Structure 1
Amino acid sequence: MHDAIVNASPWVKRFAAALPKEGVVLDLACGSGRHTALLASLGHHILAVDQDISVIELLKSDAVHIQKFDLEGSDWPLQDQQFSGIVVTNYLYRPFLEELPKMLSEGGVFIYETFAQGNATFGKPSNPNFLLNPGELLALAQRSGLKVIAYEDIYLDQPKPAMVQRICAVKGHLKGCIPLQFAD
């Protein structure tokens, strides 16, 4: 579990503290469970979903529920569910992208990070279907009424060269957040 936490995305680590402690956090397309392990270590209840859950079965606990879903089928398997947070990394399936913000409860936090246009220069993924368009996550947040906490569309050299787009946004007001005050 420690290795999984060490390998967690720095973006997710940076904004994990913004996730509400009450409720359930969705780790969508959770893969090896690196973010599930991180969130569990921080005291969150998690629903980890993927089409292959064999790798993460060991993480199952009272706080970690694991479900096998076809996330790219004709029907959205998480219809009408609500989450206090949603974490997605290195995954993009546009037909259901608009559903994600709808699944956030009030004060819920959306942390999303995946590859962006220009990544083909560095290798896979190179298919435009799996690369975010410029500003795509910002536009999703705007259409969904989410408030953006942070956003980047950048080149990263670690862990390998890549073009990445990432966002952290909240539905409504971030609980426990102290408003910024500016001097005159």
Structure 2
Amino acid sequence: MISNINTVEPHSPLLAEYLTEIKKLNAELSVLDLACGSGRNGLYLVSNGISVTFADINETSLEKISETSVNSLHFGKAELWQVDFEDENTSPLSDKGFAAVIVYRYLHRPLFDSIKASIQSGGLVIYETFTTEHPQFGRPKNPNFLLKHNELLQQFSGWEVLHYFEGTVGKGDGQGSQAVAQIVARKP
């Protein structure tokens, strides 16, 4: 049982919508919460009995997740992985396999091929981040961190797209708007 889960901001509604699909995936493989930050999305999955690998460069974030999910770590439902996905001298996903990969509010384009390769056949990607329309609402403003129009669709062409959205949504805290693209796709 996860303690203190209410201290973490709410998970993405996409995870609740596709929870049944995620539960149908290979239970022997975990779901990768890539660049997990506070772990809000992975913690939601763990609280629903799904094994998650929380991966982030920030050791403090991982320590907070560890404190939140101490029992899940003990029972093998959560694994912590401190990793720099942007280190050009490494390929951290090259020898890994996951039932699914979830990515929220993070974009490092050189990872797309590695993300796709690390997902088992029939596995899922759930990806949501800001688009080039977002700077009118706030940070980030750097185009390196903003998806171009239909970029996620292009990256996952050939995959079965279960959900795609690109546009403006309200922030989860009710304080303004944000421009995002979302995809849920199954690997062939």
TM-score above 0.5: yes
Q: Which runs of 5+ in 1 are unaligned?
A: 173-184
**Bigger mean CA deviation after superposition, 8-17 or 107-116:** 8-17
Q: For residue 18 of structure 1, what is the aligned residue in structure 2?
A: 21
Q: Is the 8 A contact 1:117 1:134 kept in 2?
A: yes
1:95-133 CA-partner distances (Å, limit 9, x unpaired): 112211111101101100000111000010111000000
1:10-57 CA-partner distances (Å, limit 9, x unpaired): 122222321115121101011111112111111111111000123322
**Aligned Cα RMSD in Å?**
1.5
Q: For residue 54 of structure 1, what is the aligned residue in structure 2?
A: 63
**2:131 is the counterpart of 1:116:** yes
Q: For residue 167 of structure 1, what is the aligned residue in structure 2?
A: 183
Q: Residue 63 of structure 2: SS of its match in structure 1?
A: coil
> How do residues 132-143 of structure 1 correspond to structure 2 at under 5 angstroms?
132-142=147-157
Quote the Cα distance in structure 2 between the aligned partners of 1:27 and 1:127. 23
Q: For residue 41 of structure 2, what is the aligned residue in structure 1?
A: 35
Quote the Cα distance in structure 2 between the aligned partners of 1:44 and 1:67. 17
Q: Which runs of 4 or more aligned residues in structure 1 lie more than 3 Å from their structure 2 counterparts after TM superposition?
A: none
Q: Residue 126 of structure 1: SS of its match in structure 2?
A: coil
1:45-85 CA-partner distances (Å, limit 9, x unpaired): 11110001233222251210001001111122121211111
Q: Residue 156 of structure 2: SS of its match in structure 1?
A: helix
Q: TM-score, normalization: structure 1?
A: 0.87
Q: Is the 8 A contact 2:86 2:108 kept in 1?
A: yes
Quote the Cα distance in structure 2 between the aligned partners of 1:72 and 1:80. 16
Match of 2:161 among 108, 126, 148: 148
Report which of the two has the higher share of helix. Answer: 2
**Bigger mean CA deviation after superposition, 101-110 or 55-64:** 55-64
Quote the Cα distance in structure 2 between the aligned partners of 1:120 and 1:148. 27
Q: Is the 8 A contact 2:93 2:115 kept in 1?
A: no
Quote the Cα distance in structure 2 between the aligned partners of 1:81 and 1:146. 20
Q: Residue 91 of structure 2: SS of its match in structure 1?
A: coil
Q: How many residues align?
A: 170
Quote the Cα distance in structure 1 between the aligned partners of 2:109 and 2:9. 29
How far the C-alpha of 1:90 sits from its partner, in A, is 0.5
Q: 1:77 to 1:5 in 2, by over 3 A?
A: same
Quote the Cα distance in structure 2 between the aligned partners of 1:4 and 1:169. 30
Amino acid at match of 2:78: V
Q: Residue 120 of structure 1: SS of its match in structure 2?
A: helix
**2:77 is the counterpart of 1:71:** no
Match of 2:143 among 128, 143, 146: 128
